[in-house]
Amino acid sequence: MSAVVEAQPVARYTVEHETSYSYRVAVSQSWQLAHLTPPELPWQRVLKHELAIEPPPDERHERRDAFGNRATHFGIHGPHPLLDVRMTCDVEIGDRVDTREIPGLAWEAVRDALRDDPGQDALRPARLAQPSTLVGWSDAARAYATSTFLPGRDWLDAVTELMQRIYREFDFEPGTTTVTTSVDEVLAQKSGVCQDFAHVMIACLRSHGLAARYVSGYLLTQPPPGQERLLGADVSHAWVAAYSPRHGWVEFDPTNDQRADRRYITLATGGDFADVVPLRGVILGGRGQKMRVAVSVIPR
């Protein structure tokens, strides 16, 4: 895992995200759904965006999904041995909300507020305190988090400590999990990748009645000392946003033990990874495929 660089005074980036499929036998038809359009946010401005698809699709349209993300649907109705989807964007990232001057609130008060007023933004925080496709109810997650969520403890302090515990107690080990590895499995083996750590943190929060959502995006990283930044060497990243009616959505990265700042570029948000997969679809034919993903985050 690459080391994380310090935040820069001007946070403007070019992001390149390319996904390529090569098929053993030409696919006769395919239908795809892409979450590859960064959103406009109070701290994020999209200066330029392009989504190039080869071969050119026979149909293509965009819509907002249930979480407010811009989703691109496209279909290719002729034989094709390859599929290449390339997203390029220029974004500008400012500061998230400064929580230092916001009065504290006990985590139980945050939990109770969700029941009283569940519609405080388009994502309905109360819904994100419920199980989702890949993050179901977990007694193990509740037990793991109970020592952190002590009665009357401040919400922000408790969520911050949970992030820190996951960072300290879990090992980052690519290859030990898959996209379908359960929260309970990750808790048992204490290893995984950023997707797993985000799912564990979300499960811990929801088990205590708190709203949490999965954030997919990119993180500016630094190559080893003395080496140049390699194009295509970065990967997508995942972190967690937790909700308080007093603080709004606050973003935590349990993989790196830090709050999201100007180095974090948001691509999509949802209940878990299943809601924000960058590219997924259905094909007819193929008889096997190889996938290649290349991501570059380039400071400007």
Give the C-alpha separation, 158 to 18, whole Å.
38
Give the C-alpha separation, 251 to 271, whole Å.
14
**Residues 43-82: pLDDT tens digits?**
999 999 999 999 999 999 999 999 999 999 999 999 999 9
Q: What pLDDT is stored for residue 222 in this prediction?
A: 79
Percent of the chain surpassing pLDDT 70? 93
For residue 111, give Cα distances in angstroms to 65, 104, 253: 26, 14, 21
Beta-carbon count within 10 A of 300 CB: 12
CB 154 within 8 A of CB 107: yes
**Residues 154-207: pLDDT tens digits?**
999 999 999 999 999 999 999 999 988 999 999 999 999 999 999 999 999 999
- Domain 107-275: assigned CATH number: 3.10.620.30
Residue spans per domain, the chain = 9-94+277-299, 107-275
Beta-carbon count within 10 A of 275 CB: 20
- Domain 9-94+277-299: assigned CATH number: 2.60.40.2250
Give the C-alpha separation, 162 to 250, whole Å.
14
Give the C-alpha separation, 181 to 174, whole Å.
13
